[in-house]
Structure 1
Amino acid sequence: MADKKNVEQECEQEEVKATNDSEDAASDVKETASEDEMAEETSEKESKKKDSRDVKIEELEDKVKRQMAEFDNFRKRNEKEKTAMYDMGVKDVIDKLLPVIDNFERGLMGIEEDTTDPIAQGMQMIYKQFTTMLDGLDVKEIPSLGETFNPDYHNAVMHVEDENCGEQEIVEVLQKGYTYHDGVVRHSMVKVAN
């Protein structure tokens, strides 16, 4: 009997061991599953953190690009304004010099071309220097005599009927006109035929 009891106790112990082993295995499975779930949760949290970081990085990169574009536009606009101010200043100075050049031309009309008078030669040299300076600044005389009247470049102050001339033909230039970089500084004052 004692053997029977021992056998029964051993069986019970084995059952308890088996139950414990199965419980341990189940708990191991649960632990593994919970570890997997935790790993998934942490990876999800990390990916969310990474996603939010990526979004923040993209936002900052976009902001930097916009700032750079804005600065580039500012620089270009500033350069255009500077050029426009320079051109306005040059036009203003040229406009003030043109009456002086007109007076030189009137003075030179009264001088013979082959003269040896040093004053006359000095005036011719100064006039040549003026015209060279104007060419260097890209100031051009508006072609007028014999041309067709163009209100963009010419100012008609007189009208004459002449059968030998064409329609709206300029027959006399009363005052020369000039352009600076394709913009009119002063219109030519002209007499127009027909």
Structure 2
Amino acid sequence: MHALMTKRMAGLDLPGPAREAARAARSFLAGLRLGPAGNTVLGHADPNLANYLWDGRRIRIVDFEDAGRSDREFELADLVEHLSARHADWTEFLTMFDLDGDRLLNARRLYAIFWLHTLRPGGPAEHRNPPGTLDQRGTRRTTRPGKGRLQRPARTSKKLQNLPRPGVPIYTSSVTRST
């Protein structure tokens, strides 16, 4: 995904607030070094919340056409960054898993970049989302008070020290590296 997003974001000129997000995304991609996956899982790879059916007792998951080998951090990042989940606060949910915080953060950034590309004018998701969705994604991810590192959530495991809270940007000029 890193190589694919690097290729697709090269030279992509987005309008409005997403322009700065695209610039920061290219900077992030240029410095990213992902280490090997530590928690291999069978991944769903399509976390649209409409694919999780609740009958009052259990959840049934549908739409496995993209399923395959993945890791916990990438699967959870895909879920958290999916447009269908953009209004949810995932902070408490993510603390239930034993995760590599750096890998999760980098995976979230990659999926946020994926959505910037997918929502671009003429992109495959542009017509399926309300007007202004690209601007909201760009603005949400590029504005934050202060500078420096991402804030820690109220409750964390030792591994989740870089978990961003809702509204904390995914795009940033500083790069978190996994070894």
TM-score range, shorter chain: under 0.3
With the length of structure 1 as denominator, give the TM-score of the two structures: 0.20
With the length of structure 2 as denominator, give the TM-score of the two structures: 0.21
Structure with higher strand content: 1
